[in-house]
């Protein structure tokens, strides 16, 4: 059923029946969707947010969920700032999003708190408290912009604008809630893959089990199994971690979903063996392109005719990369000097290179050389810029190496200024450069291995020769 | 024995680099109780390939993910044969 684009998230909360009231389960607490929609985390000041731009950055996922439900249709813009993102980007994001408020449960740097109001969410509805439902008497509803962050070339995040309609367009709505389904995800719900699962659960009135930020994979799987999770999603790297945790048997899902990275045949086979009863799906989706399609045949890549199968999602391969046009793609990037997100015909270039072999397309890496480490993007240029600041380094080339654990990992070829004369020998210098990078970069961006090379090939363009794909 | 000592050395080094408390490294230690996370394991595997010249995961055959440290070491010892 196509959703009415003027409908806000709170108006979709399914009223609990007498049985099987859907619940959100966290590592330490739980709440019903209705609790989250009506317990006012904004100190009953929801009207203050009407038409405003709000950045959500809380460690507590319940506060984030409550804020998303209560702000959609009220705020002009909701920015989802994942808790694992370096806090130093907060000022840039807040400025780019023209933020009026920051909702956070962490101490905020004074440079930000002196410029805009930081709201500490006041938690859940207290027992006996009168619930003032602000969700049913809205004078006018905003078509709220939902802003998700993705990794940018310069190291600053890119702000990608969606609407609830574009985020939810791939979700099949049912006339009544499905009490037999219980969703879960390894993703944080502030990232596109996790947000999709959160929206599936809230819009279809099903229960949801969230992984705690500090919860081990084994503990999470044990808890998810005990709750009776039936549908669960993660990146191939999440799933490899689950298989290695020796706790994969703790869940018995009916539906296992992979997204965010290329699913190789090994992980698909492993999951088929582990969960023979489950429907196994790998989904092609990205923050910019939205949810494009789902592959259910248990084989890596996808049949060529998938491109023409869904009338709602137009797809084509041009200059080797997959292009997508649909009402599920993001609308635009925020900020100055941003390139257009769609081309003149409305297609989003995913940048994912495809190879056609015997009627099936296979992913062959990224056109722009982005390295995908366990679902997190790394731009080689950003890492090179840091390595090149090391006092002993002349130049560097950062590239991808396949990893059986995280899909890909970052390695670097480095040319030293004076190769023969660095103190402590090669091993010491490698460790020294890595240590330098750890001080400047998120850990997944730090090269796992550094090779010292006498020179790097430079192409006729004057740029480093990169072999992408 | 080279594989064993190299695996132990890489676990120790990566744990130190990533500030992870490392459990005592016995053969029956489940890998995910070692204190290392997925990123750490990915780093260990790429460095072991550089040090030992083998990547036992890079095969067309069906690979079962090792669960304990002993399994993991055996993986590299078998691949090096």
Which of A243, A244, A444 has the CB atom closest to B39's CB atom?
Answer: A444
Evaluate if pTM is beyond 0.90: no
Residue A468 above 50 pLDDT? no
Contact B55 A449 (CB under 8 A): no
Q: Please check whether residue A464 lies inside any domain of the structure.
A: no
Helices A192-204, A61-71: inter-axial angle, 10-degree rounding:
60
Distance, in Å, from the CA atom of A393 to the CA atom of A383, rounded to the nearest integer, reads 13
Residue A359 above 60 pLDDT? yes
Distance, in Å, from the CA atom of B17 to the CA atom of B31, rounded to the nearest integer, reads 18
Asked which of A288, A322, A354 is the last residue of a domain, the reply is A354
Residue A191 above 50 pLDDT? yes
Distance, in Å, from the CA atom of A283 to the CA atom of A281, rounded to the nearest integer, reads 6
Bigger pLDDT: A77 vs A62: A77
A-chain residues near B17 (CB < 8 A):
431, 434-435, 438
Judged by a CB distance cut-off of 8 A, whether residue A444 touches chain B is yes
Judged by a CB distance cut-off of 8 A, whether residue A430 touches chain B is no
Judged by a CB distance cut-off of 8 A, whether residue A10 touches chain B is no
Question: What CATH number should be reported for the domain holding residue A200?
Answer: 3.40.50.12780
Mean pLDDT across the stretch B30-51? 92
Which of B31, B39, B55 has the CB atom closest to A443's CB atom?
Answer: B39
Contact B42 A409 (CB under 8 A): yes
Which of B32, B38, B50 has the CB atom closest to A406's CB atom?
Answer: B38
Residues A247 and A395 placed together within one structural domain of the fold: no
Chain centroid to CA B37: how far? Answer: 12
Which of A216, A266, A406 has the CB atom closest to B42's CB atom?
Answer: A406
Residue A14 above 60 pLDDT? no
Distance, in Å, from the CA atom of A263 to the CA atom of A363, rounded to the nearest integer, reads 9
Bigger pLDDT: A439 vs A142: A439
Judged by a CB distance cut-off of 8 A, whether residue A442 touches chain B is no
Residues A273 and A395 placed together within one structural domain of the fold: no
What chain B residue is nearest to A408 in terms of C-alpha separation? B42
Give the per-residue pLDDT at A1: 36
Residue A460 above 60 pLDDT? no
Residue A182 above 70 pLDDT? yes
Tens of pLDDT along A133-151? 444 445 457 899 999 998 7
Residues A383 and A246 placed together within one structural domain of the fold: no
Q: Please check whether residue A267 lies inside any domain of the structure.
A: yes
Residues A375 and A350 placed together within one structural domain of the fold: no
ipTM over 0.90: yes
Which of A374, A402, A431 has the CB atom closest to B39's CB atom?
Answer: A374
Number of structural domains (chain A) is 2
Contacts across the A-B interface (CB distance below 8 Å): 69
Mean pLDDT across the stretch A211-232? 94
Residues of B with CB under 8 A from a CB of A: 17-18, 30-33, 37-39, 41-43, 45-47, 50, 55, 57-58, 62-67
Helices A265-274, A236-244: inter-axial angle, 10-degree rounding:
50
Give the per-residue pLDDT at A419: 72
Closest Cα in chain A, distance from residue B5 (Å): 17
Domain span at residue A81 reads: 10-354
Mean pLDDT across the stretch A375-388? 88
Mean pLDDT across the stretch A330-357? 89
Q: In the block, which residue shows the tokens 């969703």?
A: A183
Distance, in Å, from the CA atom of A346 to the CA atom of A8, rounded to the nearest integer, reads 26
Closest Cα in chain B, distance from residue A407 (Å): 9
Mean pLDDT across the stretch A32-38? 86
Would you state the CATH architecture of domain B2-80? Orthogonal Bundle (1.10)
B-chain residues near A216 (CB < 8 A):
32
What chain B residue is nearest to A407 in terms of C-alpha separation? B42
Three-state DSSP state, A216: coil
Give the per-residue pLDDT at A173: 76
What chain B residue is nearest to A215 in terms of C-alpha separation? B37
Distances (CA, A) of A300 to A165, A242, A360, A433, B63: 30, 20, 9, 37, 16
Residues A329 and A416 placed together within one structural domain of the fold: no
Question: What CATH number should be reported for the domain holding residue A396?
Answer: 3.30.300.30
Give the per-residue pLDDT at A20: 62
Residues A265 and A154 placed together within one structural domain of the fold: yes
Give the per-residue pLDDT at A17: 54
Distance, in Å, from the CA atom of A231 to the CA atom of A211, rounded to the nearest integer, reads 14
Judged by a CB distance cut-off of 8 A, whether residue A245 touches chain B is yes
């Amino acid at each position: 059923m196509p959703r009415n684009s003027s409908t806000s998230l709170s108006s979709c909360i399914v009223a609990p029946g007498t049985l099987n009231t859907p619940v959100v389960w966290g590592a330490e607490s739980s709440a019903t969707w209705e609790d989250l929609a009506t317990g006012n985390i904004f100190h009953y000041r929801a009207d203050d947010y009407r038409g405003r731009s709000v950045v959500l950055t809380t460690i507590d996922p319940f506060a984030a969920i409550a804020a998303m439900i209560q702000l959609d249709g009220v705020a002009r813009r909701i920015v989802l700032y994942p808790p694992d993102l370096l806090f130093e980007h907060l000022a840039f994001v807040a400025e780019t999003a023209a933020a009026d408020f920051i909702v956070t449960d962490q101490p905020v740097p004074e440079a930000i708190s002196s410029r805009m109001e930081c709201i500490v969410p006041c938690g859940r509805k207290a027992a006996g408290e009168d619930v003032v439902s602000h969700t049913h008497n809205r004078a006018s509803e905003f078509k709220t912009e939902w802003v998700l962050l993705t990794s940018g070339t310069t190291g600053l995040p890119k702000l990608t604008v969606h609407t609830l309609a574009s985020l939810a367009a791939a979700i099949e709505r049912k006339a009544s809630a499905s009490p037999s389904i219980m969703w879960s995800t390894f993703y944080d719900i502030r990232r596109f893959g996790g947000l999709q699962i959160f929206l599936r659960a809230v819009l279809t009135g099903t229960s949801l089990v969230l992984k705690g930020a500090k919860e081990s994979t084994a503990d999470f799987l044990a808890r998810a199994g005990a709750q009776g999770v039936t549908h669960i999603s993660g990146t191939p790297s999440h799933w490899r971690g689950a298989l290695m945790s020796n706790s994969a048997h703790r869940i018995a899902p009916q539906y296992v979903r992979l997204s965010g990275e290329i699913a190789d045949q090994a992980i698909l086979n492993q999951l088929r063996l582990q969960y023979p009863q489950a429907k196994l799906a790998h989904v092609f989706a990205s923050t910019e392109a939205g949810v494009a399609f789902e592959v259910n045949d248990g084989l890596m890549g996808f049949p060529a005719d998938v491109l023409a199968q869904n009338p709602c999602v137009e797809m084509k391969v041009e200059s080797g990369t997959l292009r997508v046009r649909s009402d599920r793609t993001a609308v635009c990037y925020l900020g100055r000097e941003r390139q257009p997100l769609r081309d003149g015909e409305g297609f989003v270039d995913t940048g994912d290179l495809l190879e056609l072999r015997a009627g099936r397309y296979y992913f062959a890496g990224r056109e722009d050389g982005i390295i995908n480490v366990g679902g997190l993007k790394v731009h080689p240029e950003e890492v090179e810029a840091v390595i090149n600041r090391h006092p002993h380094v002349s130049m560097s080339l950062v590239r991808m190496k396949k990893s059986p654990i995280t899909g890909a990992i970052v390695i670097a070829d480095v040319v030293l200024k004076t190769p023969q004369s660095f103190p402590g020998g090669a091993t010491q210098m490698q460790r020294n450069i890595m240590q330098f990078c750890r001080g400047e970069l998120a850990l997944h961006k730090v090269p796992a291995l550094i090779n010292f090379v006498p020179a790097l090939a430079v192409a006729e363009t004057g740029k480093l020769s990169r072999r992408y794909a | 024995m080279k594989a064993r000592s190299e695996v132990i050395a890489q676990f120790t080094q990566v744990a130190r680099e990533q500030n992870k408390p490392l459990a005592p490294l016995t053969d029956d230690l489940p890998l995910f109780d070692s204190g290392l996370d997925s990123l750490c394991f990915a780093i260990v595997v790429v460095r072991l390939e550089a040090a030992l010249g083998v990547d036992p995961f890079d095969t067309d055959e069906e690979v079962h993910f090792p669960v304990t440290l002993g399994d993991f070491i055996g993986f590299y010892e078998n691949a090096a044969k």
